[in-house]
Structure 1
């Protein structure tokens, strides 16, 4: 049987485990040319999934009620109707929260388990890593001597942004949740300074950490962090907007919110570049990313942090923990 987590209902604010439903279905069969059956081994859990639970217009359609929850997977080909993929091949796919998935072969990417661990292809060498590379290098365009501030800096995206910024000769300032994550940002990922976004003196401490202002702000959080960043943006600063995790549950609807108005004024006066992006916008650079980052991962020059949870049954509770910042590093479900 194929265990499958479906969306049972749409959360009004913070999700609960009751928003998901576990069902057992027959294992699907690849019937058309180009279809393959993949047995999922690893499932990536990521903040964007919360957005996809809402019935709202976005860059991708919402998950429908009764549909399987979306997600990137590493899996093994079981049956194939494409001669370029054979049983036993390991692939990166969008298999979702389930044991088995039928996927079009053009949506698959073979992975080399000898080059890096399977889990790395869902983290530093997968979508999160490529998101970090595309946002920082293609929009942020860091230059030696500049200051790069990174939101959610110990997560799978932010931690690589910190390391890429340092490799580009920049001062990297991390924003993370709690003293332990701030320590990780400095000691493990090499940030020059780290500021706790829960600190009531966030704005003052961020100003101290950025004495020459901010040239690139890699946005992952939103909310009061953005409030603290805006006054420190230098002329011609760039702001790649990757995510706004503080607002995914719809709790940031403040009637007195003015940071957006201030940002628009600063965008004009300081000639800022503020650009939202979806990683698939930059697919043409994926091979460039792998050529640069994969050898450094193998040599240990780039490090990552993984939080692996055992068992598909634990996916909803692990996901809820992710939204609360309880994970340390890339959150992955080992399905069986």
Structure 2
């Protein structure tokens, strides 16, 4: 009797270019996983295309996770349905989220999975508003750089998986929210769909002047997800005692900002600005804040979603085989909100 094959996405080579391209992956297959005591067999339903996976693909040693080995299956955040269980916390038919292979089926230790028992409105929301993007946005604006009502908050990637949620959370706190995006069309969507007060196109020739005009009273909080030209433009606008939540650097040269610009943040100038403006800069590693915070976060996010005060944006690509191109698209700015791959119903 033949065992059914399990499709999976393999990391075939390291990126040759600044942006990880779909060509570094290949669609392969492996035998159907067999679970051991304490494990759960999951049918993958959703995969999250996360920019944080860049370091693991590039063989950069990350703070929390080891690089993906060549010829191994790609790994990322996922939602799946339990089809077999040898763990007391899960039964057949349950939904769970966690980190596992980009594959049709995965065998995962039950202790590494999260039950979706907190009442998410959609299973895919476990990878967006209830997942790492939502939690990171929440911590950035609740703990690292909490704004006060009436202050100006700038968000670096207004249509990113984290950015579109951070902008909405800042609005709930009574702030004026200014977004930064990579095109006029994306800026329009940020205002119309995500509720930003204004959004500035960082590719515009007069980007710096537009940003200054949008932040007429200066900047009090910056959710930093870009680096590069955006950081250069925001820092001189920051008010005394302003706060920066450093979350990512999607527009720095290694993520594709045009090298020809000749714009790199001068370390000495940046430090001088921190001192002169009495800035607070705090970096975000989400796992530092998980203990004791996730349940409260889920309750708050559920209330916002139930009340329609947070409106998640999902950018869905169908088919496991299309995951490599969907992943590349995140680094090319093709996503509109949280980019997901729908693997199965």
Q: Same fold (TM over 0.5)?
A: yes
Query: How far apart in 2 are the matches of 1:289 and 1:120?
Result: 14
Deviation at 1:113? 8.8
**What is the aligned partner in structure 2 of residue 211 from structure 1?**
216
* 1:271 match: 278
Aligned to 1:282: 289
Q: 1:49 aligns with which of 36, 53, 60?
A: 53
Give secondary structure in 2 for the equivalent of 1:39: strand
Cα shift at 1:15: 2.2
- Who is 1:232 aligned against? 237
Please say if residues 226 and 259 of structure 1, whose CA atoms lie closer than 8 Å, have aligned partners that are also in contact.
no
In 2 relative to 1, CA 250–158 (structure 1 residues): closer, same or farther, beyond 3 Å?
closer
How far apart, in 2, do the equivalents of 1:160 and 1:268 lie? Answer: 30
> Which residue does 1:242 correspond to in 2?
247
The number of residues matched between the two structures is: 335
Partner of 1:139: 144
> RMSD between aligned alpha carbons?
1.8
* CA separation of 1:66 and 1:260: change in aligned 2, threshold 3 A: same
**Correspondent of 2:326 among 296, 312, 318:** 318
Alignment of 1:1-336 (within 5 A): 1-12=5-16, 13-31=18-36, 33-59=37-63, 60-112=65-117, 115-247=120-252, 249=254, 251=256, 257-284=264-291, 285-336=293-344
Displaced runs of 4 or more, over 6 A: 253-256
User: Where do 5+ consecutive residues of structure 2 fail to align?
Assistant: none
For residues 61-93 of structure 1, the C-alpha deviation after alignment (integer angstroms, 9 at most, x for no partner) is 211111221211110112212112111110112
Aligned partner of residue 94 in structure 1, secondary structure: strand
Structure 1 unaligned blocks of 5 or more = none
TM-score, normalization by structure 1: 0.94
Following TM superposition, by how much is the alpha carbon of 1:195 offset from its aligned partner in structure 2, in angstroms? 0.5
Separation (CA, whole Å) in 2 of partners of 1:298 and 1:259: 45
Taking structure 2 as the reference length, what is the TM-score of the superposition?
0.92
Q: Deviations over 1:154-190 (max 9, x none)?
A: 2221111111111111111111121222112222222
Shift of 1:115: 3.9
